[in-house]
Amino acid sequence: MTSPTRSSDDGGPSGEGASGYRPDWGSLRRHRIPEWFRDAKLGIWSHWGPQSVAMSGDWYARHLYGPFEGTEGFEQKRSRRQTALHRERYGHPSQFGHKDLCRLWRAEKFDPEALMDRFRRAGARYFVSMAAHCDNFDLWDSAHQPWNAVNIGPRTDIVARWAAAARSAGLPFGVSMHAGSWTWRWLDAAFAADTEGPLAGVPYDGHLTADDGAGTWWEGLDPRELYGRPRRHGEPPDADFVDNFYARLRDVVDRYGPQLVYLDDARMPFDDGSVCPASPPSPRGLEFLAHYYDTVPESAVSIKTIPAEDRQAVLLDVERGQLGDTDPEPWQYDTSVGDWYYRTGEPYKTAGEIVHLLVDTVSKNGCLLLNVPQLPDGTLDDETAAVLDGLGAWLSACGEAIYGTRPWTVHGEGPTRVEGAKAREATLAYTARDIRFTRDGETVYAFLMAWPEDGRAVIRSLGGGGPLPLRPRGVELLGSTAPVRWEQREDALVVHLPKTPPTPYAQVLRVT
């Protein structure tokens, strides 16, 4: 199943636009992060593909080969775990490597319409599909990568089907591209060999060529198009490899017209500051930005390290990290319910934890992109479904304080805060003194991050004599039909709450 190029009438590519962006930062700074993104607040993301088959978590396509000279310290434990599982279940990676895993991914129960309905009910206001992960396997009918989901495995265009389902549900559609710079660094593992044991020195399957495929299931395919050329760790990428990545990136945006492109890199891939810069650094990323913004209006590209002057040219993405204060520009915080790819037995975030992360992010001018790891067949496990149901129930009661809001004068008050300007995400032990704020016009929403045992919410930032003068006309507790008594003192707004909270998670006061 493929998707034709979309016209300007249905939200997709429309050819060269009137903006006329040039491939330089001076021109690209005219771009603005679209309002739909600022209003959306919550997106759902699908990490799903051949690596899902092993149900062993993220980075499997790299770590199935085991530790080698290029394995960094933080990878060692996971690499040993995943290669042990791979060799027990599938065999030695000289015979069964990442390429063979691609054939085993079938997606036989994939129902994007049903999933999108569930994501919408969970509160999602945009959706992001995997286009290609670091494993270099394209999930669409790729014109420049024969190792793709139409030719191998599911035999269907996953991106096209996600795009159709999202647009049918009225959700802006995005794609994430992790291939390219990460692939060059990642799949160098496929060119290593065991250094000890009975198969010491036997090359892994990265060394195979198209000629080696005669009589195999992959006859006619070239493993070099999946793994890249043989290389040692630390070698800079070839110009042909860079060109292929950008041809694929342009192919996926021209076919499906995504309104958000997530690039898994510190800077534009292969440019100066990239996780894998070319030598010399490649300007192809700026060429892509100019083409994409001219082609798809009201769109954004996210990367992870952005100077202040470029914060509207590209969208800041913070992976599994929280900002300490309100950011003047829109930003995106991405995290996952569990591991990025499905892992059996992985502990999940609770719905309450996700609500707290969402509230803290939105109060600081951000949006939350939440990954939902799917089973290999395309379904969700019961625990994930329960988390989504809990999140959706809370947003049904309190969503008006999230969607379409903007930061208030201060993002919050109380003792529990993210340490520093940016920190790794953590489950914070919120107290009854911890409050977060958003606003919609003249209405201020105060989120009680913990329920006060004495039944009183004491909000210092809304005191009559404080630095933020506000004279409330009314206070209501979202999700509750019971009226609340309140009084504005010089030092605080004090709200007398009912005996029990109306939702299981953060409670929200509407102050008008």
Judge whether 173 and 166 are in contact, CB under 8 Å.
yes
How many residues appear in the chain?
512
DSSP label at residue 261: E
- Tell me how far apart the alpha carbons of residues 43 and 128 are, in angstroms, rounded to a whole number: 7
Q: What is the pLDDT of residue 19?
A: 65
Which amino acid, residue 499?
K
* Residue 463 CA, distance from chain mean position: 38
How far lies 48's CA from each of 170, 304, 379, in Å? 22, 22, 10
Q: Are 121 and 391 in contact (CB under 8 A)?
A: no
Residue 199 one-letter amino acid? L
User: Looking at residue 10, what is its pLDDT?
Assistant: 35
Rg of the chain taking only CA atoms, in angstroms: 24
Instruction: Compute the distance between CA of residue 78 and CA of residue 304 in angstroms, rounded to an integer.
Output: 24
Q: How far apart are CA 2 and CA 149, in angstroms?
A: 11
3-state SS, residue 46: strand
Q: What is residue 470's predicted lDDT score, i.e. its pLDDT?
A: 82
Alpha-carbon distance of 192 to 266, in angstroms, equals 27
What stretch of H or E contains 224? helix 224-227
Sheet holding 493-496, edge to edge: 456-459, 493-496, 485-488
Q: Work out whether strand 260-263 and strand 300-303 pair parallel, antiparallel, or are unpaired.
A: parallel
> Looking at this protein, which amino acid is placed at residue 267?
R
- Tell the residue number behind the tokens 């160098």, with chain if given: 188
Which one-letter amino acid corresponds to residue 196? E
Instruction: Name which of 61, 193, 200 is nearest 135 in CA terms.
Output: 61
Residue with tokens 């004599």: 465
Say how far residue 142 (Cα) sits from the centre of its chain: 22
Is the separation of the CB atoms in 436 and 503 below 8 Å? Answer: no
Q: List Cα–Cα distances, 283 to 179, 280, 300, 304, in angstroms.
A: 17, 9, 19, 18
Two tokens at 62?
Answer: 């790299």
CA 109/CA 294 separation, integer angstroms: 37
Whole-number Å distance between alpha carbons of 422 and 325: 9
pTM of the model: 0.95
Which residues are 448's β-sheet partners? Answer: 435, 507
In which residue ranges of the chain is pLDDT below 70?
1-19, 467
pLDDT reported for residue 427: 86
SS3 458: strand
pLDDT digits (tens, 9 = 90+) for 234-278: 999 999 999 999 999 999 999 999 999 999 999 999 999 999 999
Query: SS3 for 427?
Result: coil
CB 422 within 8 A of CB 323: yes
pLDDT (0 to 100) of residue 32: 98
| Amino acid of residue 273 | G
DSSP for 296-331 reads SSS-EEEES---GGGTTTSEEEEETEEESS--SS-E
Contact 275, 181 (CB under 8 A): yes
